[in-house]
């Protein structure tokens, strides 16, 4: 999962595809994906490649330079993933058996316009919604509701699919929640478990 995330961030930062100018390219009139709002809260239903399921509470916050995912693994742990725009991500759990892992990805969070240059694939019905579908660098397939322009679903090349259950524009997670616990900062070695409480 972490390797996949790393790759995502690299690929999404690649230069946008250059459209070929001509009269017979239908995509010249194709719709473009709506940029992400600078701040939003979404609840995602995720189907992992292992076919295990999880919920993700996403708090994307571009002005504050952070993207928070709180994963509830099915009948499993609650995993915090706090990603900062300086490239550092903290993965941790709370309570008994709590642990923390710090990873430096070297790249920041996706920009609101990270879908610029995506290739339009047409309209499809997914999860019961009529959507415009785009693909970017064979890495992400992104479904947006034709009418409301809200994201409905996105799939990564490795088979992880995320289904948007709620999408709340402008919602911001309080700073107190995004502060990684103290044990993330003791004996912290990049890429290794900092602690095993
Ligand atoms: C999860 O994805 C797999 C592979 O696409 C699919 O076979 C399975 O039905 C999905 N499970 C759920 C609960 O959506
Ligand atoms: C990135 O920002 C976070 C939050 O302010 C901070 O905890 C972390 O140490 C920073 N990482 C680097 C490499 O400066």
* 109-139: pLDDT as tens digits: 999 999 999 999 999 999 999 999 999 999 9
Ligand 1 in reach of 50 Cβ (< 6 A): no
- What is the mean predicted confidence (pLDDT) over 73-87? 97
* pLDDT reported for residue 91: 97
Distance, in Å, from the CA atom of 88 to the CA atom of 168, rounded to the nearest integer, reads 26
* pLDDT reported for residue 29: 79
Q: Report which ligand 1 atom has the smallest distance to the Cα of 47.
A: 1
Q: Report which ligand 2 atom has the smallest distance to the Cα of 86.
A: 1
For atom 14 of ligand 1, which residue has the closest CA?
A: 47
DSSP summary character for residue 111: P
The token pair that represents 178 in the structure block: 């995004």
3-7, 29-33, 62-66, 152-156: which has the minimum mean pLDDT? Answer: 3-7
State the distance from the centre of ligand 1 to the C-alpha of 168, rounded, in angstroms.
26
Strand (E) positions, 33-160? 39-47, 53-61, 66-73, 78-84, 88-92, 99-104, 119-126, 129-136, 140-145, 151-156
State the distance from the centre of ligand 2 to the C-alpha of 65, rounded, in angstroms.
11
Q: What is the per-residue pLDDT across 19-61, written as a single tens digit (0 to 9) for each? A: 434 444 555 679 999 999 999 999 999 999 998 999 999 999 9
* pLDDT reported for residue 28: 62
- What is the mean predicted confidence (pLDDT) over 169-186? 94
The token pair that represents 49 in the structure block: 């490649």
State the distance from the centre of ligand 1 to the C-alpha of 156, rounded, in angstroms.
14
16-20, 62-66, 116-120, 148-152: which has the minimum mean pLDDT? Answer: 16-20
- Residues ≥6 apart with Cβ < 8 Å to 156: 4, 8, 139, 140
């Amino acid at each position: 999962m972490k390797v996949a995330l790393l790759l995502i961030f690299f690929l999404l930062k690649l230069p946008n595809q250059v459209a070929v100018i001509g009269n017979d390219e239908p995509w010249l009139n194709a719709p473009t994906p709506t940029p992400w709002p600078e701040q939003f809260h979404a609840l995602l239903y995720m189907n992992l490649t292992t076919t295990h399921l999880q919920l993700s509470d996403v708090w994307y916050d571009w002005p504050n330079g952070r993207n928070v995912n709180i994963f509830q693994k099915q009948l499993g742990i609650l995993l915090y993933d706090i990603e900062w725009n300086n490239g550092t991500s903290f993965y941790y759990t709370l309570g008994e058996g709590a642990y923390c892992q710090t990873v430096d990805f070297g790249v920041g969070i996706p920009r609101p316009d990270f879908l610029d240059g995506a290739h339009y694939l047409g309209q499809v019905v997914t999860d019961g919604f009529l959507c415009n579908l785009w693909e970017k660098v064979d890495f992400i397939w992104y479904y947006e509701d034709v009418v409301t322009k809200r994201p409905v679903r996105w799939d990564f090349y490795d088979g992880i699919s995320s289904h948007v259950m709620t999408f709340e524009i402008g919602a911001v997670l309080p700073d107190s929640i995004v502060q990684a616990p103290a044990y993330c900062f003791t004996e912290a070695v990049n890429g290794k478990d900092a602690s095993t409480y």
